[in-house]
């Protein structure tokens, strides 16, 4: 079992404090849908059954982008760092591609706020034949925006840093911690959920989210803190200030109290509690963000169904 280090930002105490602060602001932050064992398991089931990125079309985009990224890498050792890698399904595939392409020294680090997920990712990555070594770091990338010191001494060779499924989850906020790991010549891959350019696309995408398993996964966190009766999760599109997102929320019809261990937070009747904020991008918008972040050689590949975009780029 690979070594898993837990940064203070991913400790139970940090999660409790973060949950209380988020609830007081009327939301459940994204990370809380992954940090508990039950939520993490529900998400893994949901992602493997329904995620467009793990469907045939999404894998095509990831595989083509992986080939582009590998072409950007110089010869020699590679260190794959999966930022917010979840259970590492996509990094595992990437590691397999690197080994198949003849790389003989391939190191890997799994990074995620969820201890159950980062542990599963490290195990999955270590099981890829030919991978040299694997370690894992549990950290909140919003709290620790400079991840480089947390990773320890730089390994020889080039870093290939991945940020998959996070532009949809955290938006551009996820970029800075990811880029903190790069030196000139390192390579990064970033994926984003896209809104296909066809009539009815919003309805199609909404239908993927507005399902019983997704609502149950989102509501599991409420159940953990005594808000099970807060109401049904409703979903809507929100378009504002150049961003497009699906918002999921529940609105209690009477005052309720959330219990985060010993701390009680009053959730007033009529005020929505936001459980989900999932951003959609377009390829040009994604490339713009990466260019603004100082990356070069940016190439974006969209899945045939237009729902998953994966970019590869180099740091300068
Ligand atoms: C949508 S999933 C994507 C997982 C994986 N990269 C994939 O594409 O399948 C979001 C992941 O981000 C992680 N996450 C959410 N907020 C985070 C934070 N603040 N710091 C680090 N990881 C976070 C979650 O634990 C989860 O594994």
pLDDT of residue 180: 97
Q: Which residues pair with 4 in a beta bridge?
A: 136
- Asked whether residue 127 carries a pLDDT value surpassing 90, the answer given is yes
Strands 4-6 and 133-138: parallel
Q: How confident is the model at residue 73 (pLDDT cuts 50, 70, 90)?
A: very high
Which protein residue has the closest C-alpha to ligand 1 atom 17? 31
Substitution site in 31, 32, 51, 151 for ligand 1 pocket (most atoms within 8 Å of beta carbon) = 31
What pTM was estimated for this model as a whole?
0.96
Q: What is the mean pLDDT of residues 199-219?
A: 95
| Burial classification of residue 189, based on how many CB atoms lie within 10 Å of its CB (0-12 exposed, 13-18 middle, 19 or more buried) | buried
In 84-222, the DSSP E strands lie at 106-112, 133-138, 158-163, 187-193
Residue ranges of domains in the chain: 28-51+200-280, 52-196+281-315
Substitution site in 86, 170, 193 for ligand 1 pocket (most atoms within 8 Å of beta carbon) = 86
Ligand 1 site, CB within 6 A: 30-31, 34, 47, 53, 84-86, 89-90, 112-114, 117, 140-142, 164-166, 169
pLDDT of residue 56: 80
Q: How far is the CA of 228 from the centre of ligand 1 (A)?
A: 24
Specify the CATH class of 52-196+281-315 in words: alpha beta
Q: 238-288 pLDDT, tens per residue? A: 999 889 999 999 999 999 999 999 999 999 999 999 999 999 999 999 999
Using DSSP, state whether 275 is helix, strand or coil. strand
């Amino acid at each position: 079992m690979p070594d898993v280090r837990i940064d203070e930002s991913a400790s139970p105490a940090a999660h409790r404090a973060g949950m209380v602060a988020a609830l007081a602001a009327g939301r459940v932050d994204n990370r809380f849908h992954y940090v508990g064992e039950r939520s993490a398991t529900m998400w893994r089931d949901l992602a493997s059954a329904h995620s467009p990125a793990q469907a045939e079309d999404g894998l095509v985009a990831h595989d083509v982008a992986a080939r582009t990224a590998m072409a950007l890498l110089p010869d020699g050792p590679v260190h794959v760092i999966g930022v917010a890698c979840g259970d590492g399904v996509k990094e595992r595939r990437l590691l397999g591609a690197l080994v198949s392409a003849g790389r003989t020294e391939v190191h890997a680090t799994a990074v995620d706020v969820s201890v159950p997920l980062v542990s599963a990712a490290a195990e999955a990555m270590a099981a890829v034949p030919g991978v040299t070594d694997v370690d894992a770091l549990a950290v909140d990338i919003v709290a620790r925006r400079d991840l480089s010191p947390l990773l320890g001494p730089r390994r020889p060779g080039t870093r290939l840093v991945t940020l998959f499924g996070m532009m949809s989850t955290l938006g551009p906020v996820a970029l800075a911690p990811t880029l903190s790991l790069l030196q000139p010549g390192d390579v990064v891959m970033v994926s984003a959920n896209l809104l296909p350019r066809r009539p009815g696309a919003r309805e199609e995408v909404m239908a993927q989210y507005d399902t019983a398993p997704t609502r149950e996964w989102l509501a599991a966190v409420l159940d953990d803190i005594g808000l099970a009766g807060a109401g049904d999760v409703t979903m809507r599109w929100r378009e504002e200030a150049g961003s497009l997102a699906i918002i999921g929320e529940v609105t209690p019809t009477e005052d309720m109290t959330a219990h985060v261990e010993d701390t009680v937070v009053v959730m007033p009747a009529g005020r929505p509690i936001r459980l989900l904020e999932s951003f959609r991008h377009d390829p040009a918008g994604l490339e713009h963000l990466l260019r603004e972040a100082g990356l070069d050689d940016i190439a974006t590949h969209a899945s045939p169904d237009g729902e998953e975009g994966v970019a590869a780029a180099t740091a300068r």
